[in-house]
Amino acid sequence: MGNIVVVGTQWGDEGKGKIVDLLAQDIDIVVRFQGGNNAGHTLIVDGKKFIFHLIPSGILYKDKKCAIGNGVVVDPEVLLEEIRNLKKSGMEITPERLSLSEKAHVIMTYHKAIDLAREAAKGKDKIGTTGRGIGPCYEDKAARTGVRVIDLTEPETLEEKIRTNIIEKNFYLTKFFGSEPLECKPVLDNYLRMAEDLKPFISNVSLELDQALKAGKQILFEGAQATHLDIDHGTYPFVTSSNPVAGQVCAGAGIGPKHLHSILGIVKAYTTRVGSGPFVCELKDKTGDYLQEKGSEFGSTTGRKRRCGWLDLVMIKDSIRLNGLDSLAITKLDVLTGLEEIKICVGYNLEGEKIDYVPASIKQLDRCVPVYKIMPGWEEDISLARRMEQLPSNARAYLQTIEEITGVPVSIISVGPGRQDAIVLK
Ligand code: GDP
Ligand code: IMO
Ligand code: MG
């Protein structure tokens, strides 16, 4: 299989976790390379549900190694809780199985406070962030004032950084937002305590991956968020603060591009979005409610209802270009069962002109009207299909249309949330 990159092609929650878990059986190491615990990746294995926010979705296999790369922003509280929960389920989470990059940035108490205060102040114009401090942490990384995982191993450096940062953050929190200031000592003590528990996992992930590659091991890079939430290529400013596109793998894991062999894009069979921002194919009618209910479209991280709409191939074609996708995994096809007709957006009409890319201007995007191809639906239950021939002809026609319009082959079709609920074509 070689080394594979798995990325989201829409606005997140495409089912990346499920597909990573499925593919991980033939992989040695699974690596996260961007984002943080804004991600919520759901795995259902033997009827048991696991939601991972930071730990890569390969961890349920006892013989697999998982790594959190330098491009990730890490909330130690969340990481330690995930480790504790896995241990409670009887799994052994040792430093041999989980590595945390010493260069990853740490989400601090003040990042979370700023994220929440800023969103509250924006009111109806809010981005609808997950409130996990992701943006403020990446801001400090770019500003060169961030706390890195390595700093957790040097109490003096940590104290110095927290003391300096907290003066500035308190000024911002109290004077600009009218929020309560944070006290340095409790924050420092808390992070020092957590540092003790995290220390065994801290390592040079880039070096470890290099050794693994030299030993012929296969690596899967697990994207979080998705292409249209990308800070450069997404629907800015309604985006996250990292680059979820495949090109970020190298910078965010510390390896060179020659090691990436195939790029798989995860495409939900319809579109969802949590949080604010433009959504050309959004359905604010009973079909939208149907998709939301049948697909159990609630955010895995915040529990918010996901907005739903038809599949938008304009977005997918952008994702194919931006990630260099080799193939597509279509997820949640089972959710479309029971609909009389299914629409696929094949272009946008922007004031009389047909375009087939997502415009950079949010105002223009808001004015885009979807051009739909209408396809017949199917009634048959497809959740037990394990071969293409077992799908009704209308479902096969839907998949074929996606391939024809995008020019990219479909390699996996997911028909249910469980590990086995899939048709693997290649
Ligand atoms: P991720 O963030 O991309 O990993 O996706 P999430 O886990 O946030 O959301 C996907 C949701 O759909 C989860 O609840 C999965 O268990 C579920 N899911 C994944 N694939 C399928 C599928 O093919 N059919 C159905 N019905 N559910 C699926
Ligand atoms: P996974 O990996 C869906 C969205 C938030 C918000 C915007 C910015 O599970 O697909 P942030 O907290 O990142 O500053 O929020 O991005 N968002 C996601 N939406 N799935 C995710 O991750 C997301 N991570 C962030 O809802 O609109
Ligand atoms: Mg998710």
Q: What is the CATH number of the domain that holds 31?
A: 3.40.440.10
pLDDT at 301: 79
Q: Within this chain, do residues 8 and 145 fall inside the same structural domain, yes or no?
A: no
Q: Within this chain, do residues 135 and 190 fall inside the same structural domain, yes or no?
A: yes
Q: Within this chain, do residues 170 and 230 fall inside the same structural domain, yes or no?
A: no
Q: Is residue 372 part of a domain?
A: no
Residues 299-308: what's their mean pLDDT?
Answer: 88
Atom in ligand 1 nearest the alpha carbon of residue 333: 23
**154 CA to centre of ligand 1 in angstroms:** 40
Q: Is residue 286 part of a domain?
A: no
pLDDT in tens, 384-426: 999 999 999 999 999 999 999 999 999 999 999 999 999 999 7
Q: Is residue 367 part of a domain?
A: no
Q: Which domain holds residue 252?
A: 1-101+204-280+315-332+380-426
pLDDT at 426: 77
Q: Within this chain, do residues 6 and 96 fall inside the same structural domain, yes or no?
A: yes
Mean pLDDT (the chain, rounded): 97
Q: Of 148, 183, 198, which one is at a domain's C-terminal end?
A: 198
pLDDT in tens, 23-56: 999 999 999 999 999 999 999 999 999 999 999 9
pTM of the model: 0.98
Q: Within this chain, do residues 250 and 391 fall inside the same structural domain, yes or no?
A: yes
Which backbone phi and psi does 128 adopt, to 5 degrees? 80, 40
Residue (of 266, 227, 228, 234) closest to 248 by Cα position: 227
Q: Output the six-digit token pair for 403.
A: 């391939």
Question: Does 41 qualify as catalytic in the annotation?
Answer: yes
Question: Does 261 qualify as catalytic in the annotation?
Answer: no
Q: Within this chain, do residues 114 and 41 fall inside the same structural domain, yes or no?
A: no
Using the predicted structure, report yes or no on whether residue 250 has a pLDDT greater than 90. Answer: yes
Ligand 1 lined by 13 (C-beta under 6 Å): yes
With bands split at pLDDT 50, 70 and 90, how would you rate the model's confidence at 105?
very high
Choice among 21, 41, 75, 115 that is catalytic? 41
With bands split at pLDDT 50, 70 and 90, how would you rate the model's confidence at 1?
confident
With bands split at pLDDT 50, 70 and 90, how would you rate the model's confidence at 180?
very high
pLDDT in tens, 71-92: 999 999 999 999 999 999 999 9
Residues 179-204: what's their mean pLDDT?
Answer: 98
Q: Is residue 87 part of a domain?
A: yes
- Going through 204-268 in order, the beta strands assigned E by DSSP cover 219-222, 262-268
User: Cβ-count burial of 183 within 10 angstroms (0-12 exposed, 13-18 middle, 19+ buried)?
Assistant: exposed
Q: Which residue has the least CA distance to atom 25 on ligand 1?
A: 416
pLDDT at 300: 79
Atom in ligand 2 nearest the alpha carbon of residue 134: 14
Cβ contact 37:53 at 8 Å? yes
The preferred substitution site among 16, 119, 221, 225 for testing ligand 2, maximizing ligand atoms within 8 Å of CB, is: 225
Residues 134-162: what's their mean pLDDT?
Answer: 98
For residue 422, which amino acid is it? A
Atom in ligand 2 nearest the alpha carbon of residue 223: 2
The preferred substitution site among 21, 32, 129 for testing ligand 2, maximizing ligand atoms within 8 Å of CB, is: 129
Q: Within this chain, do residues 225 and 88 fall inside the same structural domain, yes or no?
A: yes
Residues 358-373: what's their mean pLDDT?
Answer: 97
Distance CA 312, CA 69 (A): 31
Q: Is residue 352 part of a domain?
A: no
Distances in Å between the alpha carbon of 314 and those of 271, 321, 323, 353, 420?
Answer: 12, 11, 14, 14, 30
Q: Within this chain, do residues 31 and 171 fall inside the same structural domain, yes or no?
A: no
Ligand 1 lined by 418 (C-beta under 6 Å): no
Distance CA 349, CA 215 (A): 52
